[in-house]
A and B are shown apart, each in its own frame.
Chain A
Amino acid sequence: MDSAVSMPLGEGQVAFHRRSGLLDALARRRTVLITLALIMVAWQLGPRLLALPTYLLPPPSTVLMAFLEQWQRALNAAWITTTVMLGGFIAAAVFSTVFAVLIVSSQLVEDAIQPILLVFQVVPKIAIAPLFIVWFGFGWIPETVLVFLMAFFPITLSAVAGLKSADPDILDLARSTGASTWAMFRKIKLPQALPEIFTGLKVGITLASTGAITAEFIASDRGIGYLLLEWRADLNTPMVFAGIFLISAAGLLLYYVIEVIEHVTIPWHVSQRRDISHA
């Protein structure tokens, strides 16, 4: 038995302790930061050199100045849009997960619903949005519903895939212990599904911001989406840019919140993944 100790360790030993610190991460991001700086410089100088009018392409300094002039209004609108995003997304996350559990726990539910789900996923949700005005009127309800619909499908489908991803052998092993369905779900299937669920959540949150802005284009008199239309009508292109930046920043922030939760929840998975967002 002593031979086992001399067995070579796999690459995993190293990988587990990879990504050691903030400095390391910063060093690896230096290259992309340089790229970003170059883009900003080109953007700042480009419009001047080409003599482009501000309403076509304002340089970043003009965008910043415009934002500073009405930052309160813009931030306020961004907050409204973000709450809609978050509300619809959280509803979708909860509902999707429960729905996915139902689908995988009953063959009948799966046969009845899975095909419809796949077809429905192809329907452009934005095309249904005008209907929501008919049904729910203006305001946060149609907005939230659209965000919900956008995020619902990717989260549900990845949660279903995740809940089915446990190895049949480990489930057989669990059956041979006489484990209850609940114990098998809680100790094996659910943890096994978490990486896929988080992937779905990340796709969901990016779609949620698209959903929120679209909903405000169509069915709202507030939020960044609504202001974007107003600013465009005034040919206030710098503020349009500022609005796009704001809402992108909000989306990015929420995305990173999910990443942080993921790191805390499933460190065993995150630590061995080669994720492009950390490269």
Chain B
Amino acid sequence: MHENVTPGAGHGSPASIVLEHVSKTYPTSGGGWTEAVKDVSLTVRQGEFLSILGPSGCGKSTLLRMIAGLLPVTQGRILVAGVEVKRPVTDVGIVFQKPVLLEWRTVLENVLLQPELRGADTRAFVARARDLLVSVGLEGFEDSHPRQLSGGMQQRASIARALVNDPPLLLMDEPLGALDALTREQMRVDLEELWLQSSKTVVFITHSIDDAVLLSDRVVIMSPRPGCIDHVIDIDLPRPRALAGRKHEGFHVAEEAITAIFLERGVLQRSRGLTAAEIARHTESSPATRRQTVS
């Protein structure tokens, strides 16, 4: 695997994923072509938590699907564990935005779908599946059906499903995107913990600056259409970051740096501004406590 480390990538660890000048174009209904991903070169190191952050439609999901071998690249090539991706990569766990559990199976049976589809003896995986369900916080729900679980719990089950075959690589496509804010907060903390306990490489697609900064070793910022790498930011915060990660000075520095990039690209826009009279009116009517939290 070591021979596939591209120059300049190395922080010591060998490469898990290498993208070399990867592009993806789609035919449009009008007969033209849309460039979804343009000339992306990137090396993901083994054991690294890497986020790909960008606005909707920047091709980040396309990128993930190409890494997984679920979509062919138009140009360039992708290596996973040193092997060029030409068909679906099997030594991988995937988590999507939707949990996509099979509703006729119990939670445990859903987790066991992975080895079952691989033609493995599922009995050998039962103990591991149960352990995983405990570690994602679903103890006691093994025999429940997906309908009986909240959205967050369903997503936890889908993470257990992705991990049951113990793949070295985890691809996550906005796994927290469909969750309510509080569940999301908890899931992020739990996900970091889970990752710290393992030694997996994670590629994490997100459009949340918070999630990217609080989880990642590196954040790859994609520019909108056509999706290409805008910046790569190292996040050098101590772990576990958990909820306290927000208090860290480095968190704010990183957030501001990313916000600045998005402002520059027009992904985010400054407020058009309030008149002095509007501000004054608001400040007068607000209770003191409110002013305090805002400041």
Q: In the complex, are the beta carbons of B118 and A178 less than 8 A apart?
A: yes
Beta-carbon nearest neighbor of A265 in chain B: B104
Q: In the complex, are the beta carbons of A13 and B152 less than 8 A apart?
A: no
Separation of A126 and B135 alpha carbons in the complex (Å): 62
Separation of A197 and B65 alpha carbons in the complex (Å): 32
Q: In the complex, are the beta carbons of A4 and B136 less than 8 A apart?
A: yes
Q: Is A268 an interface residue (CB 8 A)?
A: yes
Q: In the complex, are the beta carbons of A4 and B70 less than 8 A apart?
A: no
Q: In the complex, are the beta carbons of B148 and A10 less than 8 A apart?
A: yes
Q: In the complex, are the beta carbons of A4 and B138 less than 8 A apart?
A: yes
A11 to chain B, nearest CB (A): 9
Q: In the complex, are the beta carbons of A176 and B148 less than 8 A apart?
A: no
Q: Is B196 an interface residue (CB 8 A)?
A: no
Residues of A within 8 A of B88 (CB): 175-176, 178
Q: Is B253 an interface residue (CB 8 A)?
A: no
Beta-carbon nearest neighbor of A272 in chain B: B147
B145-165 interface with A by 8 A CB criterion: 145, 147-150, 152-153, 156, 165
Residue from the list B68, B100, B138, B183 in contact with A176, Cβ < 8 A: B68
A162-178 interface with B by 8 A CB criterion: 167, 169-170, 172-178
Q: Is A266 an interface residue (CB 8 A)?
A: yes
Q: In the complex, are the beta carbons of B104 and A16 less than 8 A apart?
A: no
- Of the stretches A31-39, A54-62, A149-157, A183-191, the one at the interface is A183-191
The total of chain A residues at the interface (CB under 8 A) is: 35
Beta-carbon nearest neighbor of A8 in chain B: B150
Q: In the complex, are the beta carbons of B136 and A1 less than 8 A apart?
A: yes
Separation of A169 and B162 alpha carbons in the complex (Å): 13
Residues of A within 8 A of B89 (CB): 176
Residue from the list A1, A9, A15, A174 in contact with B193, Cβ < 8 A: A1
Q: In the complex, are the beta carbons of B186 and A3 less than 8 A apart?
A: yes
Separation of A177 and B150 alpha carbons in the complex (Å): 26
A5 to chain B, nearest CB (A): 7
Given the contacts A1-B135, A176-B92, A187-B116, A170 and B102 also touching, CB distance less than 8 Å: yes
Interface string of B51-76 (1 = CB under 8 A from A): 00000000000000100111000000
Separation of A48 and B36 alpha carbons in the complex (Å): 78
Beta-carbon nearest neighbor of A11 in chain B: B147
Q: Is B139 an interface residue (CB 8 A)?
A: yes
Contacts A1-B190, A12-B145, A191-B102 known; list 18 others, CB within 8 Å: A1-B135, A2-B137, A4-B190, A5-B140, A7-B153, A8-B150, A9-B150, A12-B149, A15-B147, A167-B100, A172-B70, A173-B96, A175-B70, A176-B88, A176-B90, A177-B165, A188-B102, A268-B104
